[in-house]
A = this chain, B = another copy of it.
């Protein structure tokens, strides 16, 4: 049986995320999620039992998409040996461009804000993704610095934190309609141009 129970779970979680993206995560109740997914309330209970488990599963479902999105960006980036291209690909992912990306970041941010006052959500490992990203970027920048692509005086660890802060901050400003994703991308490129100085000539 292709799909089976997993297909039902996915159907419900997709409904949750679609609803959270359109009306906000706070409007997601067991009933509204069921209606959005086109199933009965009982079915949502059957697969997720409690609302808290549903919310956690929604966060998992959201986080599970991240590796795939990143891989697609890296594949589209082409040269995987060029550190700047990799950095650009990785962090362009943080800017909400299309609608799917916008929903992703809005819901992820909603969860992050909730986790600030909800210990159950704060304990979820998926909100630790930025930590891994920070380590990954630090290593990448250290290698680039040894290869002479970064000024010798650069601090790879600090630059990694800065890159994540810039992409998160720009992403949020796009999310709130303060800027278009194109404008944000231009500013991001401006930052990258300074981080990776062009070799003379």
Partner of A161 from B155, B162, B175, B187 at Cβ < 8 Å? B187
> When chains A and B are docked, how far (Å) is the Cα of A18 from the Cα of B23?
26
Give the total of A residues in contact with B, Cβ under 8 Å: 44
Query: Chain copies in the assembly?
Result: 2
Query: Within residues 165 to 186 of chain A, which ones have a CB less than 8 A from any CB in chain B?
Result: 165-170, 172-173, 175-179, 183, 186
Is A190 an interface position by the 8 A CB rule?
yes
Q: Is the CB of B176 within 8 A of A169?
A: no
Contacts of A173 in B (CB 8 A): 130, 161, 164-165, 168
Contacts of A131 in B (CB 8 A): 178
Q: How far is the CB of A58 from chain B (nearest CB, A)?
A: 15
Is A158 an interface position by the 8 A CB rule?
yes
8 closest residue pairs by CB, A with B? A165-B169, A169-B169, A24-B117, A168-B169, A158-B190, A165-B170, A161-B187, A165-B166
Give chain A's interface residues, CB within 8 Å of chain B.
21-24, 26-27, 106, 109-110, 112-118, 122, 127, 130-131, 155, 158, 161-162, 164-170, 172-173, 175-179, 183, 186-187, 190-191, 194
